[in-house]
Amino acid sequence: MRWFIDAMNVIGSRPDGWWRDREGAVRRLVEEVRAWTESEPVTVVLDTGPDDLLGTVGPVTVVRASRRGRNAADDEIVRLVTGRDDARVVTSDAALAARVRALGAAVEGAGGFRRRLASSR
């Protein structure tokens, strides 16, 4: 199974003041994901974010949407999931969830995924 994480959707699912330090919130999420996964491949999809996070460390790959604007990360996730039969997408965005389900991907909500990360600490 390969995980695809809608980063800002997951970050925005918890009102912890992330909007005051968006870059810091992205960094925290990526570090939490890296600490959580031991071997399952994970792709964290950003709409914007710091360049130094991009790339692969262990099983975690961080990518930025290839374009800017509304639904850019959603479109990138759909592109990455297309043709895969092992995709699990983390998002609570109903429109994105419908798009990736139509491609055969499983979907996990952002809140459930947050709980998964917390229980792995």
Averaged pLDDT, 39-53: 92
Q: What is the pLDDT of residues 1-36, one digit of tens each?
A: 999 999 999 998 887 888 788 899 999 999 999 999
* Residue among 9, 16, 39 at smallest CA distance from 108: 9
| Architecture label for domain 2-119 | 3-Layer(aba) Sandwich (3.40)
Model pLDDT, residue 69:
85
Strands (E), 41-115: 42-46, 55-57, 60-64, 87-90, 106-108
- Please report the pLDDT score of residue 17 as a whole number: 82
The ranges assigned to domains in the chain are 2-119
Query: Does the pLDDT value for residue 50 go beyond 80?
Result: yes
Measured between alpha carbons, how far is residue 74 from residues 1, 88, 96 in Å? 19, 14, 6
pTM of the model: 0.93
Q: Residue 74: which of 33, 39, 107 has the closest Cα?
A: 107
Instruction: Please tell me the predicted confidence (pLDDT) of residue 14.
Output: 83
Query: Could you report the per-residue pLDDT of 67-121, keeping only the tens digit for each?
Result: 888 889 999 999 999 999 999 999 999 999 999 999 999 999 999 999 999 887 6
Q: What is the pLDDT of residue 63?
A: 97
